[in-house]
């Protein structure tokens, strides 16, 4: 087992500007791009198990870097490194805005996340090898679940190190982090309603939820309880049926296109990233966009398009931070009520971002970045 480490101790710089191209050279991104500034990148390989992984630590200014492990069959090793760099940087901002004493980090494991028996490469031995690499960082990086990894995987990884969260309750963990992810999105949506209509409630408002899977179906429950009129869509019939069985009053439409062109007050993208693009934004009827999906803006400039149309955008990395708040609490001996109290503060954080955006005449995402950067800069100064 070998480790290659690259270090850059320059201060964090602004995230303004285009996201690096997938074809970019990772070293150029790391050392020269405004999207760089990472403290450490670890390339991990264990040939016996087939493990190839990247652990990227963007910042430890606020504390140990915290972020999930993504398991994905990337088109190239370079693409995997770039994804780790981008995701780690995003976690620095998410954790700072969530009020956590954690910097940002992310790991990616390269390969098909299906089990070896099903044609993929995931195995207990591979996850244990990955856990040893996390242990080799001595607590600088705390891992958790992400796309392609699950609570049961983290239980295995945790057997090799104590810096693993997102474990099952049987192993001292918090379990499914989608519970507080959805709660945090609901708090962000309440703040959006307060800013837009003067009241922190969705009662009587029509909310369209695109994607009612792990997070989306919990969000629907919060909205129905608050008195909202909910419209949903999902590519999986089973997900639709689960919601309708519990809430028969919820309306279903066939597609996301049907959803966003219908009469909505709030649009909640809770499925794939890139939901806000040059096609969907001009078609939106909603006055607010607030959802759980990561990376909702398809490209730079989309948020300005939203603002030009008078649509309030709640930055996804602010409102969907309930999950990371939940897993971070595991490090202190998980207490659901304590974690939920922290996630409740997403309401105040979202309002503060809207207020700053209005006072400085900038988009909400830029205001969020400035608040996060200020907190990290103050931590570096001691």
- Determine whether 171 is exposed, middle or buried from the number of CB atoms within 10 Å of its CB (0-12, 13-18, 19+): middle
Residue 3 CA to residue 27 CA, distance in Å, equals 17
Cβ neighbour number for residue 3 with a 10 Å cutoff: 12
Those residues whose C-beta lies under 8 Å from the C-beta of residue 193, and which sit 6 or more positions away, are 199, 200, 201, 202, 205, 266, 288
Catalytic member of 106, 122, 287, 342: 106
Give the CB-side neighbour count of residue 249, counting CA atoms within 13 A: 10
Nearest Cα to Cα of residue 214 among 242, 254, 172, 256: 242
The residues near 382 (Cβ < 8 Å, ≥ 6 apart) are none
Question: Reduced to 3 states, what is the DSSP secondary structure of residue 25?
Answer: coil
Structure tokens given for 191: 């703040």
Among this protein's residues, is 106 annotated catalytic?
Answer: yes
Nearest CA to 270 out of 186, 350, 213, 341 is that of 213
Catalytic residues: 106
């Amino acid at each position: 087992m070998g480790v290659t480490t690259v270090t850059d101790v320059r201060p964090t710089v602004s995230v303004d500007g285009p996201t690096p191209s997938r074809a970019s050279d990772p070293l150029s991104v790391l050392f020269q791009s405004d999207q760089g500034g990472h403290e450490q990148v670890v390339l991990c390989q264990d040939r016996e198990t087939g493990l190839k992984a990247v652990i990227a630590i963007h910042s430890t200014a606020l504390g140990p870097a915290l972020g999930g492990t993504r398991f994905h069959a990337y088109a190239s090793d370079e693409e995997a490194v770039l994804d780790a760099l981008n995701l780690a940087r995003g976690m620095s901002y998410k954790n700072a805005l969530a009020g956590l004493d954690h910097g940002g980090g992310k790991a990616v494991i390269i390969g098909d996340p299906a089990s070896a028996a099903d044609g993929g490469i995931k195995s207990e031995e591979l996850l244990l090898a990955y856990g040893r690499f996390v242990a080799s960082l001595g607590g600088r990086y705390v891992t958790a679940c992400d796309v392609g990894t699950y609570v049961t995987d983290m239980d295995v990884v945790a057997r090799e190190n104590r810096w693993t969260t997102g474990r099952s309750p049987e192993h001292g963990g918090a379990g499914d982090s989608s519970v507080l992810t959805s709660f945090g999105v609901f708090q962000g949506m309440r703040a959006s309603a307060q800013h837009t209509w003067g009241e922190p409630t969705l009662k009587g408002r029509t909310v369209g939820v695109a994607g009612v899977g792990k997070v989306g179906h919990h969000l629907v429950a919060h909205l129905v309880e608050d008195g909202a009129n909910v419209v949903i869509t999902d590519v999986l019939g089973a997900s639709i049926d689960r919601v309708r069985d519990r809430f028969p009053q919820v309306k279903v439409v066939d597609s996301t296109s049907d959803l966003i062109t219908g009469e909505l007050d709030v649009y909640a993208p809770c499925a794939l990233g890139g939901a806000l693009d040059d096609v969907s934004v001009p078609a939106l009827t909603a006055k607010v966009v607030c959802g759980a999906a990561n990376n909702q803006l398809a490209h730079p400039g989309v948020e300005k398009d939203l603002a030009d149309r008078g649509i309030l955008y709640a930055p996804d990395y602010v409102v969907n931070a309930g999950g990371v708040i939940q897993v971070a609490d595991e490090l202190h001996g998980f207490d659901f009520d304590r974690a939920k109290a922290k996630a409740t503060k997403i309401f105040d954080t979202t309002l503060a971002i809207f207020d700053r955006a209005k006072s400085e005449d900038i988009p909400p995402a830029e205001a969020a970045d400035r608040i996060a950067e200020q907190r990290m800069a103050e931590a570096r100064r001691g």
